[in-house]
Amino acid sequence: MPKVRKRWGELLATLLVSVVSWGAILVLGGVVGFIAYKGASVIGWSFLTEPMREGMRKGGIAPAIVGSLWVTAVAVIVGGFIGTAAGAYLSEFATNRRLKRAIEFLVTTLAGIPSVVYGLFGLALFVVALGLGASILAGGLTLALLSLPLLIRNAQEAFSAVPASLKEASLGLGASEMQTFLRITLPIALPRVLTGLVLATGRVLGETAPILFTVAAYYLPTYPRSLFEPTMLLPYHLYVLITSGVNVKETYPMAFGTALTLLMMSLAFTLTAAYLRFRLKLKYRV
């Protein structure tokens, strides 16, 4: 009797799980499909490689693509270094338990702050106080800050996942703690560290609120020449196309083209992360 009931329970659970997962896949596919359907007709070589023209009713979105890539690069490089170092400290080098706990608490708290608040903070610190003005550097640093909690956590977990037995073996051979970190822990954890970094890249690319006050230009159809200039960016350009176009009917399709471009770029990073993880995992078998 209990056996039968268990079977039914299992069947029900299986059914529920598959309905929910298929539902999720359908919704996701629907969103992507819808945007692809609306945006595909707009996207072409010229759309991706030419600047905007005539307000923003004609031409392409190239300056926004370039700007987004610049800001994202700054964010990921700065955030990557600081996040990896902090993660390494927390996982491998922190000897003061209290300090470690305090940092971990801070990281958790920072992760819960809405992104628009980061934007305001970036405005106050980087744009105004440090005098960077609205610039790629200010926006990139703001986004670096935003992604730090994620990057720190990810790096910390990656380093902690390296078997303690290997670290001990290295120390046992006369390696210092730093040598052990650089020669054993870091290379073995690298796949996970990089995966987190590439995933963060995909996320940073789509962030809108933090760039609003720190870097994004409303209409600046030229390519940035230094880190100290403002620039157009894909998410903000998308927002502008929809809300404040002179003639929304004209800019509406371009908005979908922009959205599709953004989506494809994010997706590219996510897939890269998956691929990286797979390849490097094979190499190190961890």
Query: 73 vs 286, which CB is nearer to other proteins?
Result: 286
Query: 165 vs 247, which CB is nearer to other proteins?
Result: 165
Region for residue 131 given its phi and psi (left: phi exceeds 0; alpha: psi -120 to 50; beta: otherwise)? left
Q: Which two tokens stand for residue 250?
A: 């004209």
Q: What are phi and psi of 227, to 5 degrees?
A: -75, -10
166 binding other proteins? (CB under 8 A): yes
- Closest approach, Cβ 93 to other proteins, in A, equals 12
- Closest approach, Cβ 41 to other proteins, in A, equals 49
Q: Nearest to residue 139, comparing CAs of 118, 158, 168? A: 118
Site residues (CB under 8 A) for other proteins, limited to 181-240 = 183-184, 188
For residues 210 and 146, is the Cβ–Cβ distance under 8 A?
Answer: yes
225: Cα separation from own chain's centroid:
24
94 binding other proteins? (CB under 8 A): no
- Closest approach, Cβ 220 to other proteins, in A, equals 49
For residues 190 and 100, is the Cβ–Cβ distance under 8 A?
Answer: no
Query: 154 vs 185, which CB is nearer to other proteins?
Result: 185
223: Cα separation from own chain's centroid:
23
Region for residue 54 given its phi and psi (left: phi exceeds 0; alpha: psi -120 to 50; beta: otherwise)? left
Candidates 55-63, 102-110, 126-134, 167-175; binding stretch for other proteins (CB under 8 A)? 167-175
10 binding other proteins? (CB under 8 A): no
168 binding other proteins? (CB under 8 A): yes
- Helix (H, G, I), strand (E, B), or coil: what is residue 59? strand
Quick one: which of 3, 4, 173, 249 contacts other proteins (CB under 8 A)?
Answer: 173
- Closest approach, Cβ 193 to other proteins, in A, equals 15
Quick one: which of 4, 131, 172, 249 contacts other proteins (CB under 8 A)?
Answer: 172
- Return the amino acid letter for 120: L
Q: How many residues bind other proteins (CB under 8 A)?
A: 20
Neighbours of 136 (CB within 10 A): 26
176 binding other proteins? (CB under 8 A): yes
Task: Report which DSSP code applies to 44.
Answer: S
- Closest approach, Cβ 277 to other proteins, in A, equals 16
Can you tell me the distance from the alpha carbon of 164 to that of 176, in angstroms, rounded to the nearest whole number?
A: 15
* Residues constituting the chain: 286
- Closest approach, Cβ 189 to other proteins, in A, equals 11
171 binding other proteins? (CB under 8 A): yes
Query: 102 vs 130, which CB is nearer to other proteins?
Result: 102
Residues that bind other proteins (CB under 8 A): 163, 165-166, 168-176, 179, 183-184, 188, 283-286
